[in-house]
Amino acid sequence: MKINFAFLFLITGIVASRDMAFTGGTEELDPISKYNAQNNEKANVSFLLFTRRNPLKPDEIVLDNEESVENSEFNPQNPSRFLIHGWRGGPSDVINVLCQANYLARGDYNIFIVDWCPLASSSYLNATVNVREAGKQVAAFIDFLHRNHGLNLASTYIIGHSLGAHVAGITGKHVKRGRIRAIFGLDPAQPLFSIDRPNERLDANDAEYVENIHTNTAFKGFAKPIGDSSYYPNWGRRQPGCGADLLGSCSHERAVRYFAESLEGRSNFYGVQCESYGNIENMTCNIGVTVKMGGDLLDFKGSGVFYVPVGEKYPFAKGKIPYMHLFS
């Protein structure tokens, strides 16, 4: 059955994040879309910087171009966040729009949108091959900012969705001047990636802390844990409110929406710790320890596998639910 799912994924030319309307939060796509339309001549990977000083019009910073940094709003005193879209995504992808807005609502950040559209816009097979090249370019860019402009790796996180999660992993593997503080993989893509080949995908060793949110384990997303902490909203199965979701697009994208909501701070997603991934498969967890999913402050979360209850619509977080009520 999984082979059939993978085949369907490969021939599907639709990305949920580009087709689905957003419910809750900001719906404004114009600033990024307008910029993208006006800048068609691009390198394989482009880096668009948003800050509170330029929340609507990005500064494009070019690898090894000192002037592009000096003329930008980059501030090494602020924490940096790199957002990486998935297959056939782009600057106006939902991960960029939602997370950029919610981070800047929280405080002062350097928000880098990683546009690897030239490498991700062809067939899924080609895009998976290009993941390594995209990740190496992002790593070179991070090393450049760290070496020449004071980027602090200890306050740098990378957030990637689907194939973008694996780009984040390759980035972490190739950064030469230290280690990335954290990587968040939002439903890392499963088709054509293997649990037995961690050098080709996101892995727990790619940053000081790696967290994954699994929302479509039966189809597009990775099923088994591949990070320090692995969270499974609704057991990683079809997400509430997604209807039949025959191709898994809605559930696959929910990881992005959950993470973006976790940045808002007004509600929290709590995961209930399980003994192993087998508990996720059997839909039974019996440890009872609860840990927050997502968010921006790591608080030394530790590691483990977690079940997360979620709602059908925004706001999706259910807060801290007493353990006794979860499985009764």
Residues marked active site are found at 162, 187, 252
Check if the beta carbon of residue 260 is closer than 8 Å to that of residue 105. Answer: no
Q: Is 191 exposed, middle or buried (0-12, 13-18, 19+ CB in 10 A)?
A: buried
Q: Is 300 exposed, middle or buried (0-12, 13-18, 19+ CB in 10 A)?
A: exposed
The number of C-alpha atoms within 13 Å of 180 and in the hemisphere containing its C-beta is 33
Those residues with Cβ within 8 angstroms of residue 182's Cβ, 6 or more apart along the chain or in another chain? 157, 158, 207, 208, 209, 210, 211, 298
Question: How many other C-beta atoms can be found within 10 angstroms of the C-beta atom of residue 67?
Answer: 9
φ, ψ (nearest 5 deg) of residue 95? -60, -40
CA 287 – CA 48 distance, rounded (Å): 43
Amino acid at the residue 235: W
CA 28 – CA 31 distance, rounded (Å): 8
Q: Which SS3 state, helix, strand or coil, does residue 31 take?
A: helix
Question: How many other C-beta atoms can be found within 10 angstroms of the C-beta atom of residue 199?
Answer: 10
CA 287 – CA 284 distance, rounded (Å): 10
The tokens describing 3, both together, are 């082979």
